[in-house]
Amino acid sequence: MSNFLQYCITGITLGMIYALIAIGFSLIYRVTNIINFAQGEFVMLGGMLMILFVHFLKINYFISVIIVLLIIGILSFIFERVTLVPFKNSPVLIKIIFTIGASIFIRGISMIIFWKEPGLRYENFFEDKYFNLFGAVITLQDIFIIVTTLLIFIIIFILMEISITGKAMRACAVNIKASNIIGINVPLMLRFSFIISGILGAIAGIIITPKLGMSYSTGVFWGIKGFTASILGGIDSNYSILLGGIILGLLESLITGYGSDISFGLFSSEYKDVFICLLLIILLIIRPNGIFSKKGLKERV
Amino acid sequence: MKNIIDFIKKKINIISIFILIMILPVIFNSPLSMRILIEIGIISMVVLGLNLLMGLAGQISMGHAGIFGLSAYITGLLSSGRLNFTLPPLISIIIAISITTVLSYLIAFPILKLKGHYLAMGTLAMGIIFYSIFANLSFAGGFDGFSNIPRLWLFGENFTKNFLGINKYLNGYIIVYFVLIILFWISNNINNSKIGRSFKAIHTSEIAASTLGINVTKYKIMVFTISSLFTAIAGILFAHFYCGVTPSDFSIVKSISFVTMVVIGGTSSIWGALIGTIFLVLINYSLEFIQDFLSKFNIHVNIIDFNILTYGLLFIIVLIFLPDGIIGLKNKIVQLWRKKIVKNREDK
């Protein structure tokens, strides 16, 4: 029982990270209909920059978080300039290929700038404090991750549902031409969505690195897991993305824990990536709008 | 006599390529350059297949390295004696190609229902699945892979080596380029056939294609299977010439680099596949060369690490400035040249 609870805690913590990455995918997708393949690279960059500032340059946590978020914000601004502006009227294939190219570029740069060892990490924000919860252990860092993510989701909720900027962004998602006509500054909204999703990715990277470590090559994996979470919940809505992330995290950690017992040793924990990718493919084919969607199948390109 | 000259004029492209392929091993006969030539040949096959998928039919696959690796792993495992039985290479090759092609046909059924972004993500997931399976197969050496795959000889090892005096590099070169020419001929014919025109129609608009009576699903599955067949052939050649495989040869970066080659070469023509491959492989080796050169002057820089960065940079530059790839550049120059000629005539 305590084992089960432990897996659940790990799963929820991981799921929060996936949800953060997924909301980044979703923000860009909703406004521009582009899946940003470089989203995972922003997670990686966030983690690596924090390692650089905190672990190697020994800068104060608070200041370095602000510096990292600034850098990522500027980077995603540039990213938007080079992705969206020249390819406004290109076919989808070109846009996809371009974001892929940009993600290799970021990966290549960080391979040179940062270090090549896998699993680098920086010191925890807090001292290693444990709480016992019915036999399972929850660390302060886990609680921090969960609380931060929930806070961010609340902020995004306020931003998207209540503030006038968010309403304008949602209008862009529905119909770009119409929102141009009624006087919404569409390019600004597009830029905004890119910057916010880049920063969200970076936050995910910053808070997960002390727990799991980060290396220059893991960007693709974070990206694909975040994307799976957004497809699992449904890319169109905030709540379902949070739920999708948590479900994915729980699934992953339960498979890591019980996978080999259920399948008589066939599914050892190393195959959890295989499982998640299979899940992604099946979801994409059967329920591309998420398991919570009521509208039924709707084709999207 | 006139007929012959006309024939030569028509086929000047193909004839010059033939002559080039004959001459190349004579000029570049050092082991290193032969290795580069063989690598270009093998990767060209993958890129040729991917070019059919991306350029002709307008689909995308980010998981071709997985298919490439699948056929290499199957033939390697069957023929290297890591299992309880050992098959001769010729049989294991046939088994590997057929299993890979059938499997990719089965994969294509569900996956090519997806479009655009979802297709890219789905195939990326497929690539990751294959990669993690390779990396975790304990009887295939896990992350380290395995070696001792027998080499493929032209007419048997003894006869080729001792009697004909062909060394292993030339032997590889002949086989690889022979297969490459056949595959090139096939894809050229596909390009100019009814099937190819259907692919192009699907590329332009699936809805329009289906109103014209083209069975879109069937043709999409067909193009994916054909391109996997090309990739499978490249995979077995890879396994039998490098005599060993490791999972990192078939990672996601590899898949992405194949896509890069297609884009850089240009998707509008099958020649683009060859040009893109040659370009990127040479860049890779020239980085290695620069590193060796610098280390002579006691400057130790790890320039090979720059390869991913160079891929990304080239990718972005090509997409922004030359959306049709290097082939597009050539077409533009030819157009300008023709205009100039016409203008000169008019002036006269």
| Contact with chain B for residue A63, Cβ under 8 A | no
pLDDT at A295: 55
Helices within chain A (DSSP H only)? 2-32, 39-50, 61-84, 92-113, 140-157, 164-174, 176-181, 186-212, 219-233, 238-262, 272-286
What is the per-residue pLDDT across A69-82, written as a single tens digit (0 to 9) for each?
999 999 889 888 88
Give the CA distances from residue A44 to residues A29, A203, A300, B276, in Å, rounded to whole numbers and listed in that order. 20, 10, 28, 29
**pLDDT (average), residues A205-221:** 83
pLDDT band at A266 (very low <50, low <70, confident <90, very high): low
- Of B66-70, B156-160, B200-204, the one with minimum mean pLDDT is B156-160
Query: What value does the mean pLDDT take over residues A227-243?
Result: 84
Which positions in chain A touch B111 (Cβ < 8 Å)?
281, 285
As given in the structure block, the two tokens for residue B138 are 């304990």
Mean pLDDT (whole number) for B239-258: 86
CB contact under 8 A, B316 and A98: yes
> Of A112, A299, A301, which has the smallest distance from its Cβ to B309's Cβ?
A112
Chain B neighbors of A107, CB-CB under 8 A: 308, 312
Closest CA–CA distance from residue B321 to any residue of chain A (Å): 10
C-alpha to C-alpha distance for A219 and A113, rounded to whole angstroms:
15
- Going by pLDDT thresholds of 50, 70 and 90, the confidence category of residue A297 is very low
pLDDT of B208 reads 86
Cβ-based burial of A149 (10 A; exposed 0-12, middle 13-18, buried ≥19) = buried
Burial (CB count within 10 angstroms: exposed 0-12, middle 13-18, buried 19+), residue B177:
buried
Range in A108-112, B41-45, B134-138, B294-298 the model is least confident about: B294-298
Is B147 an interface residue toward A (CB < 8 Å)? no
State whether residue A224 sits within 8 Å of chain B by CB. yes
pLDDT above 70 covers what percent of chain A? 91
Taking an 8 Å cut-off on Cβ atoms, the answer to whether B125 and A281 are in contact is yes
Distance CA A208, CA A206 (A): 6
Do B25 and B34 touch, CB atoms closer than 8 A? yes
Q: Is the pLDDT of residue A158 over 80?
A: yes
The span from the CA of A121 to the CA of A206, in Å, is 10
- Put simply, whether B170 touches A (Cβ < 8 Å) is no
Q: B288-310 pLDDT, tens per residue?
A: 888 888 877 776 666 666 777 88
Average pLDDT (B52-69) is 88
pLDDT at B76 over 80: yes
Dihedral (Cα; B129, B132, B134, B139), 10-degree rounding: -130
- What is the pLDDT averaged over residues A180-194? 85
Q: Which residue has the higher pLDDT, B242 or B165?
A: B242
Predicted local distance difference test score (pLDDT) of residue B100? 92
Interface predicted TM-score of the whole assembly (ipTM), two decimals: 0.85
Encoding tokens for residue A130?
């444990």
For chain B, say whether A297 makes contact (Cβ under 8 Å).
Answer: no
Query: Where residue B165 falls among pLDDT bands split at 50, 70, 90?
Result: low
Burial pattern B15-47, b for ≥16 Cβ within 10 A else e, equals eeeeeebeebbeeeeeeeebbbbbbbbbbbbbb
Please tell me the total number of residues recorded for chain A in this structure. Answer: 301
- For B37-54, give the secondary structure using H, E and C: HHHHHHHHHHHHHHHHHH
Q: Of all residues in chain B, what percent carry a pLDDT higher than 90?
A: 11
The verdict on a CB contact (< 8 Å) between A111 and B60 is: no
Q: Average pLDDT of chain B?
A: 83
pLDDT at A121: 75
Count Cβ atoms below 10 Å from residue B332 Cβ, excluding itself: 12
Q: What is the mean pLDDT of residues B62-87?
A: 86
CA distances from A277 to A175, A231, B159 (A): 32, 12, 48
Beta bridge mates, A138: A131
pLDDT at B66 over 60: yes
Task: Identify the closest residue of chain B to A86 by CA–CA distance.
Answer: B320
Instruction: Tell whether the model's pLDDT for residue B102 goes beyond 90.
Output: yes
Residue A182 sits at φ, ψ, to 5 deg, of -80, 10
Alpha-carbon span A21 to A203, nearest angstrom: 9
Neighbours of A43 (CB within 10 A): 32
pLDDT interval class at A294 (50, 70, 90): low
Contact at CB, B121 and A268, closer than 8 angstroms = no
Q: If pLDDT is split at 50, 70 and 90, which confidence band does A301 have?
A: very low
pLDDT at residue A57 is higher than 70:
yes
Round to whole Å and give the CA distance between B231 and B236: 9
Contacts of B136 in chain A (CB under 8 A): 268, 270-271
Neighbours of B348 (CB within 10 A): 5
The minimum CA-CA distance between B58 and chain A, rounded to whole Å, is: 8
Which residues in chain B have their CB less than 8 angstroms from residue A21's CB?
A: none
CB-CB under 8 Å, B122 with A281: yes
Give me A229's structure tokens. Answer: 């979470």
Contact state of B323 with A284 under an 8 Å Cβ cutoff? no
**Looking at per-residue confidence, does B23 or B119 come out higher?**
B119
Amino acid, res. A300: R
Which residues in A lie closer than 8 A to residue B126 (C-beta atoms)?
277, 281
Of the listed ranges A185-189, B125-129, B156-160, the least confidently predicted one is B156-160
State which amino acid sits at residue A186.
V
Q: How far apart are CA B244 and CA B82, in angstroms?
A: 12
Among A126-135, A200-209, B190-199, which stretch is predicted with the lowest mean pLDDT?
A126-135
φ/ψ of residue A114, rounded to 5: -90, -160
Interface contact A224-B116, CB threshold 8 A:
no
